Amino acid sequence: MPFEDMTDRPRVLIVGGGIAGQAVCEQLAPRAQVTLACGEPRLPYDRVSLGRLLAGETPDALQLRPEDWYSDRGVDVRLGTWIAALELDAGTALTGNGELLHYDRVVLCTGSDALVPPMEGADSPGVCVFRGPEDCERIVEAAAGSRRAAVIGGGLLGLEAAYQLATMGVPVSVVHLMGRLMERQLDGAAAELLAPAIEALGVEVLLEHATEAVLADEATGAVRGLRFASGTELDCDLVVVAVGIRPQVGLARATGLDVERGIVVDDRMVTSHPRVLAVGECAQHRGIVHGIVAPIHDQAAVAARTALGDDALYEGSVPSAKLKVMGIELVTAGAAEGERAVVVADERDGTYRKLVLHEGRAAGAVLLGDTRGSELLLDAIRTAREVADPLGLLQEASQATAAELPDTAQVCNCNGVCKGEIVQAIRHGELGSTQEVVAVTRAGAGCGSCKPVVSELLAIERGGAVEEATYLCPCRKQTREELAGIVRAEGLESVSELSASCGAGRDCGACKPGLAYLVSEVCGNRHREERHARFINDRVHANIQNDGTFSVVPRMRGGVTSADELRRIADVVDKYEIPLVKVTGGQRIDLLGVRKEQLPAVWEELGMPSGHAYAKAVRTVKTCVGTDFCRFGLGDSMKLGIELESAMEGLYTPHKVKSAVSGCPRNCAESYVKDIGVVAVEGGWEVYIGGAAGGSVRKGDLLAKVDTPEDAKRLTLAFLQHYREQAEYLERTYGYVERVGLEAIQAAVLDPTEQAALLERFRIAKSAADPDPWQERHAPAVPKQFAELDTESEPVVVGPPVGAAL
Partner 1 sequence: VSEWVTVGRADDVPLLEGRSARYGEARIAVFRLAGGWAAIDHACPHAGGPLSDGIVADSCVICPLHNRRFDLATGEQVGGTDRVTTYEVRERDGLLEVRPAVEVLLDEAA
Judged by the rule CB under 8 A, the positions of this chain that interact with partner 1 are: 403, 460-465, 505-510, 512-513, 531-533, 535-536, 539, 544, 546-548, 782-784, 788-790
786-473-690 Cα angle (round to 5):
85
Burial tier of 673 (Cβ tally within 10 Å: 0-12, 13-18, 19+): buried
Q: Which is nearer to partner 1, 499 or 721 (CB)?
A: 499
Is the Cβ–Cβ distance between 640 and 615 less than 8 Å? Answer: no
CB of 500 to partner 1, least distance (A): 10
Cα 539 from Cα 774, distance rounded (Å): 11
Q: Which is nearer to partner 1, 247 or 513 (CB)?
A: 513
CB of 724 to partner 1, least distance (A): 22
Q: Which is nearer to partner 1, 2 or 463 (CB)?
A: 463
Is the Cβ–Cβ distance between 431 and 454 less than 8 Å? Answer: no
Q: Which of 745, 739, 716 is nearest to 657 (CA)?
A: 716
Question: Residue 764 gets which letter from DSSP?
Answer: H
Q: Which residues are CB-contacts of 208 (< 8 A; sequence separation ≥ 6)?
A: 176, 177, 178, 179
- Give 695-757 as a DSSP string: SSEEPPEEEEEESSHHHHHHHHHHHHHHHHHHSPTT--HHHHHHHH-HHHHHHHHHSHHHHHH
Q: Which is nearer to partner 1, 158 or 513 (CB)?
A: 513
CB of 531 to partner 1, least distance (A): 7
CB of 405 to partner 1, least distance (A): 14
How far CA 713 is from CA of 241, 605, 640, 644, 772, in Å, comes to: 50, 33, 8, 6, 22
Tell me the residue type at 391.
L
Q: Which is nearer to partner 1, 246 or 506 (CB)?
A: 506
Strand partners, 215: 225
Rounded to 10 degrees, the C-alpha dihedral 17/18/24/29 comes to: 40
Cα 715 from Cα 477, distance rounded (Å): 35
Q: How far is CA 734 from the centre of its chain?
A: 14
What is the phi-psi region of residue 714: left when phi exceeds 0, alpha when psi lies from -120 to 50, beta otherwise?
alpha
CB of 510 to partner 1, least distance (A): 6
Cα 579 from Cα 698, distance rounded (Å): 34
Q: Which residues are CB-contacts of 500 (< 8 A; sequence separation ≥ 6)?
A: none
Q: Which is nearer to partner 1, 403 or 804 (CB)?
A: 403
CB of 657 to partner 1, least distance (A): 22
CB of 515 to partner 1, least distance (A): 11
Is the Cβ–Cβ distance between 388 and 420 less than 8 Å? Answer: no
Q: Which residues are CB-contacts of 757 (< 8 A; sequence separation ≥ 6)?
A: none
Q: Which is nearer to partner 1, 231 or 463 (CB)?
A: 463
What count of Cα atoms within 13 Å lies in the side-chain half-sphere of residue 39? 17
Computed on alpha carbons and rounded to an integer, the radius of gyration of the chain in Å comes to 31
CB of 790 to partner 1, least distance (A): 5
How far CA 337 is from CA of 319, 330, 383, in Å, comes to: 14, 16, 18
Q: How far is CA 74 from the centre of its chain?
A: 32
Q: Which helix (H) or strand (E) holds 580?
A: strand 580-583
Is the Cβ–Cβ distance between 730 and 654 less than 8 Å? Answer: yes
Q: Which is nearer to partner 1, 19 or 475 (CB)?
A: 475
CB of 544 to partner 1, least distance (A): 5
CB of 257 to partner 1, least distance (A): 51
Is the Cβ–Cβ distance between 318 and 382 less than 8 Å? Answer: yes
CB of 454 to partner 1, least distance (A): 15
CB of 460 to partner 1, least distance (A): 4
Q: Which is nearer to partner 1, 548 or 683 (CB)?
A: 548
Q: Which is nearer to partner 1, 122 or 787 (CB)?
A: 787
Q: Which is nearer to partner 1, 399 or 746 (CB)?
A: 399
Cα 309 from Cα 311, distance rounded (Å): 7
CB of 594 to partner 1, least distance (A): 14
Cα 220 from Cα 247, distance rounded (Å): 33
Q: Which is nearer to partner 1, 176 or 476 (CB)?
A: 476
Q: Which is nearer to partner 1, 672 or 729 (CB)?
A: 729
Q: Which of 421, 486, 487 is nearest to 453 (CA)?
A: 421
Q: Which is nearer to partner 1, 546 or 562 (CB)?
A: 546
Q: Which is nearer to partner 1, 508 or 704 (CB)?
A: 508
Burial tier of 157 (Cβ tally within 10 Å: 0-12, 13-18, 19+): buried
Q: Which is nearer to partner 1, 513 or 635 (CB)?
A: 513
Q: Which is nearer to partner 1, 536 or 625 (CB)?
A: 536
Strand partners, 15: 37, 108
Q: Which is nearer to partner 1, 210 or 544 (CB)?
A: 544
CB of 463 to partner 1, least distance (A): 4
Question: Residue 402 gets which letter from DSSP?
Answer: G
CB of 540 to partner 1, least distance (A): 8
CB of 546 to partner 1, least distance (A): 6
How far CA 475 is from CA of 373, 492, 529, in Å, comes to: 12, 21, 23
Is the Cβ–Cβ distance between 166 and 55 less than 8 Å? Answer: no
CB of 780 to partner 1, least distance (A): 11
CB of 485 to partner 1, least distance (A): 22
